[in-house]
């Protein structure tokens, strides 16, 4: 069986595929791999653009390790392979919610936290920052738990699958809440001038700059006492399905065939951007559908360097003859204490570049990566980049502690793959 990721830019053929349904099944797979000299990894839903999930050994699929194990007052323990979309619905049925999340809900809980999946938040961080406890199977086949105050907890929350196979994750949850979502168009120059004000005035700020134009779509989400005013079914379909996916997909396909039209296509899209408002259940506001296949690179830079990062990216695109259909997305998070979180120890801003899958443009990513690395940027572990262990060691203060822990827990590199050889050494 060949495994391919969502973007279809990574694939591999594992020696064996298993679908464990219990912790014991995972222990057996880890012991069998060790005994037969093979490697082993669990995958999520393949939404990483890097080869982080690939293995040539035993691939564990998440489909039977799903569901809630137990409920607490302010926490829930879920089996590691539970998709976020299922978790959101189960929480909602109980009047509970996660404080923050990323753009989509297709990923599994373990897959999402292992690469540091994040959304945007002034006060609330990525998914790994909402973890209260982990249960994992180590390379020697033992089952262990890790909680706050333990090195294993700070290392394994964003662990790249390098320290063990997660079997259960306990997440902190809170009473369900509504978000007031506002979308409006702002010129990039105004956006750049009001970055500090907008990030401090909003609980969740997310904006998209459309290359070859001066237009930004700015989305702000703030908690609301209600009442709920969800977008009507037609409005929702029009914005989230038809315009953001169907029409956008057609524009990308047209731009792919006739690249010289892209600046004009983007100008038409910019002119069509309108203001809108709604109040809805948090997870419905945080997340969206993504039907158009793309490739993505995303870097986290220190928050105070966002203006420079964005200006230099705009100037680079203006200078070069590239034609870029996809918007550049900008988000922020507070500092994280997970050692390999892209936000470790610093308030962070994220700048994400996307390219239409059928027309990759490596020079675009290389050019932006040069800017981001000059600004001490940290690449998202699940999105395309070319950094290796020597660079990453410089931008992650606890990198050496992570690799030392890995040396102790997995000296035989049972959980390794090519990507980990590159980024961890």
Ligand X SMILES: Cc1cc2nc3c(=O)[nH]c(=O)nc-3n(C[C@H](O)[C@H](O)[C@H](O)COP(=O)(O)OP(=O)(O)OC[C@H]3O[C@@H](n4cnc5c(N)ncnc54)[C@H](O)[C@@H]3O)c2cc1C
Q: Which residues bind ligand X (CB under 6 A)?
A: 6, 41-48, 52-53, 62, 80, 102-104, 107-108, 110-112, 114-115, 117-119, 160-161, 165-166, 290, 380, 382
The nearer residue to ligand X, 275 or 291, going by C-beta atoms, is 291
| Own/partner pairs, 310-313, CB within 8 angstroms, 24+ separation | 310/188, 310/192, 310/209, 310/351, 311/192, 312/371, 313/351, 313/353, 313/368, 313/371
Exposed e or buried b per residue across 173-201, where buried means at least 16 C-beta atoms within 10 angstroms of its C-beta: beeeebbbbebebbebeebbeebeebbee
- CB closer to ligand X, 164 vs 260: 164
Find the shortest distance in angstroms from Cβ 131 to ligand X.
13
Nearer residue to ligand X within complex by CB, 169 or 371: 169
Please report how close the Cβ of residue 141 comes to ligand X at its closest, in angstroms. Answer: 15
The least CB distance from residue 144 to ligand X, in Å, is: 13
Task: Starting at the earlier edge strand, list the strands of the sheet with 131-137.
Answer: 68-71, 75-79, 165-172, 131-137, 143-146
Report the nearest approach of ligand X to the CB of residue 21 (Å): 13
Contact 11, 56 (CB under 8 A): no
Q: In the complex, what is the shortest distance from the CB of residue 108 to ligand X, in angstroms, rounded to a whole number?
A: 4
| Cα 254 to chain centroid, rounded | 28
51 vs 345 by CB, closer to ligand X? 51
To ligand X, the closest distance from the beta carbon of 256 in angstroms equals 18
- Minimum CB separation from ligand X for residue 416, in Å? 11
Least distance (Å) between residue 228 CB and ligand X: 24
Measured from the CB atom, is 110 or 324 closer to ligand X?
110
Residue-wise DSSP of 74-88:
SEEEEETT-BHHHHH
Nearer to ligand X, 7 or 316 (CB): 7
Looking at the DSSP bridge assignments, the partners of residue 306 are none
Closest to ligand X by CB, 70 or 189: 70
**ω before 227 within 30° of 0 (cis)?**
yes
Q: Long-range contacts: 314-317, Cβ < 8 Å, 24+? A: 314/188, 314/209, 314/211, 316/367, 316/368, 316/371, 317/211, 317/212, 317/364
Asked if 424 and 403 touch (Cβ cutoff 8 Å), the reply is yes
Half-sphere exposure of 408 (CA within 13 A, CB side): 8
Q: In what order do the strands lie in the sheet containing 16-18? A: 16-18, 58-60, 40-42
CB of 136 within 8 A of CB of 143? yes
Residue with smaller CB distance to ligand X, 269 or 341: 341
> Closest CB to ligand X among 115 and 224?
115
CB-based contact 41:59 (threshold 8 Å):
yes
Q: How far is the CB of 232 from ligand X (least distance, A)?
A: 25
Q: Phi, psi (5° rounding) for residue 136? A: -145, 155
Query: Shortest Cβ distance from residue 423 to ligand X (Å)?
Result: 11
* Smaller CB separation from ligand X, 214 or 239: 239
For residue 237, give every residue at least 6 positions away whose Cβ sits within 8 Å of its Cβ, in sequence order, or none.
none
């Amino acid at each position: 069986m060949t495994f391919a990721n969502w973007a279809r830019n990574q694939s591999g053929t594992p020696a064996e595929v298993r679908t464990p349904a219990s912790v014991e099944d995972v222990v057996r797979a880890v012991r069998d791999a060790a005994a037969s000299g093979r490697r082993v990894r669990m995958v999520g839903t393949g939404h990483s653009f890097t080869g982080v999930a690939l293995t040539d050994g035993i691939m564990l699929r998440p489909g039977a390790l799903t569901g809630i194990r137990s409920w607490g007052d302010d926490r829930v323990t879920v089996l590691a392979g539970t998709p976020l979309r299922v978790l959101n619905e189960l929480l909602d049925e109980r009047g509970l919610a996660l404080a923050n999340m990323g753009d989509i809900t297709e990923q599994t809980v373990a897959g999402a936290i292992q690469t540091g999946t994040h959304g945007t938040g002034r006060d609330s961080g990525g998914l790994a920052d909402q973890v209260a406890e982990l249960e994992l199977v180590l390379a020697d086949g033992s089952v262990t738990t890790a909680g706050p105050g333990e090195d294993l907890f700070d290392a394994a929350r964003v662990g790249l699958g390098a320290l063990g196979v997660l079997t259960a994750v306990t997440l902190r949850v809170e009473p369900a809440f509504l978000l007031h979502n506002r979308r409006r168009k702002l010129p990039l120059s105004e956006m750049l001038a009001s970055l500090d004000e907008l990030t401090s005035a909003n609980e969740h700020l997310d904006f998209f700059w459309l290359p070859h134009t001066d237009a930004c779509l700015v989305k702000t989400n703030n908690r609301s006492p209600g009442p709920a005013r969800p977008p009507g079914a037609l409005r929702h379909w029009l914005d989230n399905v038809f315009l953001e996916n169907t029409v956008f997909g057609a524009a990308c396909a047209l731009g792919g065939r006739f690249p010289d039209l892209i600046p004009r296509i983007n100008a038409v899209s910019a002119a069509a951007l309108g203001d809108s408002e709604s109040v809805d259940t948090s997870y419905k506001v945080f997340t969206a559908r993504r039907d158009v296949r793309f490739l993505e690179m995303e870097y986290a830079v220190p928050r105070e360097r966002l203006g420079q990062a964005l200006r230099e990216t705009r100037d680079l695109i203006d200078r070069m003859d590239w034609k870029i259909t996809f918007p550049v997305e900008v988000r922020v998070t507070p500092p994280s204490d997970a050692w390999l979180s892209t936000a470790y120890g610093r308030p962070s801003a994220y700048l994400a570049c996307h390219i239409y899958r059928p027309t990759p443009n490596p020079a675009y990513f290389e050019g932006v990566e040069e800017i981001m690395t000059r600004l001490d940027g940290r690449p998202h572990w699940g999105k395309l980049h070319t950094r290796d262990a020597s660079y990453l060691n410089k931008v992650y203060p606890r990198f050496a502690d992570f690799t030392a822990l890995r040396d102790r827990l997995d000296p035989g590199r049972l959980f390794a793959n090519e990507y980990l050889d590159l980024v961890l050494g």
